């Protein structure tokens, strides 16, 4: 049984991670944050183009070799009739929660972000005050409140806010290492709002089971799983692939 378990772990987790590392290493990436492009990716509408409120959650591959297996995520809001976006990230230096330190849809280490959540209009108006409250109540916002692995890191912060706001009906990508860190301190959670059960060993390993999430198994930050509802598989370091194309 032990030998079989090791074979499964190697095939499901180690092989994809090694392949991702090889592909990343062979690609063209900035050698440091100084050489990286942090300018706007222009994937969000210009805020002056509309008066509606908006809420976005974005994610992009991070820098260095950790970009092979992990993404960085952040939160963007625009109040109704506002002329600019606001952005919140968590970073690994100084006071970790940063407000507007990069363009709202900026490249992250030269990598183009993708929109994980996009809500506008009346629904965004309802959600934004809850998002602001969740950010203000985040328990690891002081200096020293960042740990790259297992967390609480940038993805732990965004996932905490998403879980605290029931109207955000989405999850961070499987490559958002740290998203499953139990930032509220609970190792067993029955989330009736999202219809799932979450088990965690302080972020080093864990299981999520639910109608929307399917089955996810987290091992040392790498997430593998299946989503029967969308006929999808979740591949560590890569992402979710569905036969339905969604």
The DSSP string of 84-112 is S-EEEEE-SSSSSEEESSS-TTB-BTTBP
pLDDT value of position 2: 87
**Are the C-beta atoms of 183 and 197 separated by less than 8 Å?**
no
Grade residue 245 by pLDDT with cuts at 50, 70 and 90.
low
d(CA 238, CA 173): 9
The residues facing 118 across adjacent strands are: 56
According to DSSP, residue 35 is labeled T
**Are the C-beta atoms of 127 and 167 separated by less than 8 Å?**
yes
pLDDT value of position 169: 87
Q: Extract long-range pairs of 145-148: CB within 8 Å, 24+ residues apart.
A: 145/96, 146/90, 146/91, 146/92, 146/93, 146/96, 148/66, 148/92, 148/178
pLDDT value of position 218: 97
**Are the C-beta atoms of 124 and 55 separated by less than 8 Å?**
yes
Model confidence pLDDT, tens digit, residues 20-71: 999 999 999 998 889 999 999 999 999 887 789 999 999 999 999 999 999 9
Model confidence pLDDT, tens digit, residues 199-217: 999 999 999 999 888 999 9
Mean pLDDT value across residues 75-104: 96
Instruction: Round the average pLDDT of the chain to a whole number and report it.
Output: 94
The pair of three-digit structure tokens given for residue 214, joined into one six-digit string:
């399917």
What percent of the chain is modeled with pLDDT above 70?
Answer: 99
Domains of the chain by residue range: 28-242
Q: Name residue, tokens 């908006």.
A: 54
Checking if the pLDDT of 243 tops 70, the result is yes
Q: Name residue, tokens 């070799």.
A: 65
Model confidence pLDDT, tens digit, residues 157-184: 999 999 999 999 899 999 999 999 999 9
d(CA 52, CA 121): 5
**Are the C-beta atoms of 25 and 244 separated by less than 8 Å?**
no
Checking if the pLDDT of 246 tops 80, the result is no
The pair of three-digit structure tokens given for residue 34, joined into one six-digit string:
């100084």
């Amino acid at each position: 049984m032990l030998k079989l378990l090791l074979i499964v772990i190697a095939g499901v987790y180690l092989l994809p991670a090694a392949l991702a590392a090889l592909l990343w290493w062979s690609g063209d990436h900035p050698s440091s944050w100084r050489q990286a492009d942090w300018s706007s990716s222009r994937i969000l509408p210009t805020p002056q183009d509309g008066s509606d409120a908006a809420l976005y959650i974005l994610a992009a591959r991070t820098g260095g070799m950790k970009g092979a297996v992990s993404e960085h995520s952040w939160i963007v809001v625009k109040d109704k009739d506002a002329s600019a976006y606001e952005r919140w990230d968590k970073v690994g230096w100084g006071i970790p929660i940063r407000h507007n330190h990069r363009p709202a849809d900026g490249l992250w280490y030269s990598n183009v972000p993708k929109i994980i959540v996009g809500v506008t209009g009346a629904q965004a108006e309802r959600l934004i005050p809850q998002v602001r409250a969740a950010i203000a109540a985040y328990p690891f916002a002081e200096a020293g409140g960042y740990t790259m692995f297992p967390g609480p890191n940038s993805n732990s912060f965004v996932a905490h806010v998403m879980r605290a706001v029931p109207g955000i009906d989405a999850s961070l990508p499987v490559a958002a290492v740290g998203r499953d860190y139990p930032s509220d301190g609970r190792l067993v959670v029955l989330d009736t709002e999202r219809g799932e059960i979450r088990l965690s060993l302080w972020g080093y390993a864990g299981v999520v089971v639910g109608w929307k999430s399917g089955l996810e198994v987290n091992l040392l930050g790498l997430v593998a799983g299946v989503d029967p509802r969308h006929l999808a598989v979740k591949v560590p370091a890569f992402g979710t692939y569905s036969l339905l194309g969604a």
